[in-house]
Homo-oligomer: A and B are copies of this chain.
Amino acid sequence: MKAGIINVTGYAGIELARILHRHPEVEIAGVTGRSQAGERLGDALPHLDRLGLAIEPDLAGSVDVVFSALPQVASAAACVRFAREGVKVVDISADFRLRDPAEYAAWYGAEHPAPDLLETSVYGLTELDRQGVAAARLVANPGCYPTAALLALAPAVRAGLIEERVIVDCKSGVSGAGRGLSLTTHFSEVNENVFAYGVGGHRHLPEITQELRRMRGGYEPSVLFQPHLIPMTRGILDTVYADFAPGAFGSPQAAGQAVAELYRDAYRGEPFVKVVDKPPQTKQTWGNNDCLVYPTVDERTGKLVVFSALDNLVKGAAGQAVQNMNLMFGLPETTGLEQLAVYP
């Protein structure tokens, strides 16, 4: 199976190259880059020297699957060509995540370049829509924050346990902001620092809301999503707060036990979603495709509090993209993704 990576020089692209290089069923047939086209990949990124590839301006040869790791808008443009040629596509950008082109335009400040493809594209949070992904030709790979938030909320929402107002307080490493230069990602500014950003509305919010709504008929979520940047390279921790629906449980104590069971049942057998019984640490997922979910009930306030941790570049980007590709091609879902976390 031949794969192409569009924009291998960004962090999601780099991570795709790392994972696909060890995928037993995939050959990386070509990689593109925006600024460094023409260079040997190993010159631009020495740790990828073993791939023996050059960075092309565009994918030259034929491929069976394309991964796009371009930023939004540019990504859609690149994906359209392949999608129309019948090549399977996993788009890591946000371009095919929102069903509603008007919402896309509102959040991304641009008309959607291919609204017709929106109708057949599938939101690829694998565990929540396996059949959809398996049948898709164009998968919109979810954002890193939404992956963590949706996996933290899905069992409770699907079971009708929680009310519609939800708070998602997120802490992210800096690689989520990409490889583009800005003062916000300048080492001396970010190191030994923590701050909120996206106050008043971050682009991952509509994606979270859209997918929560799909989880249960009539559920109309009101989500407050607040990301924070913390001084580390990889990792996302989402802390999710919600109130139980009236009568959901007799007591917080009863709720605690029931919620743990509900989540364990929901994710039983999942290869990459682990329900744990202690606060998860992002370091426990460093470099691998796991999402760790820890549902708890705060006895004093009776609230549901769920913690979820993942590596934003793996389960939050490249790893989930490969997981989706596996499904799209009928391969075992874990192929090429069995690597344990690198700890410490």
Of the residues B179, B301, B307, contact of A222 by C-beta under 8 Å: B301
Q: Are A183 and B185 in contact (CB under 8 A)?
A: no
Closest to A235 in B: B194
Q: Are B188 and A344 in contact (CB under 8 A)?
A: yes
Give the interface size class of chain A: 35 or more
Q: Does A245 contact B (CB under 8 A)?
A: no
Residues of B within 8 A of A276 (CB): 46
Q: Are B200 and A298 in contact (CB under 8 A)?
A: yes
Per-position 1/0 for A170-181, Cβ under 8 A of B: 010111000101
Please choose the segment from A59-67, A78-86, A279-287 that sits at the chain B interface, where 4 or more of its residues have CB less than 8 A away.
A279-287
Contact A344 B189, CB 8 Å, known A230-B231, A301-B223: yes
Sample (28) of A-B pairs whose CB atoms are under 8 Å apart: A18-B340, A21-B340, A22-B338, A46-B281, A49-B274, A169-B239, A169-B241, A174-B188, A185-B186, A187-B187, A187-B191, A191-B233, A192-B192, A192-B282, A193-B232, A193-B281, A194-B232, A194-B281, A194-B282, A196-B307, A222-B301, A224-B241, A224-B301, A224-B305, A230-B232, A234-B344, A241-B241, A339-B339
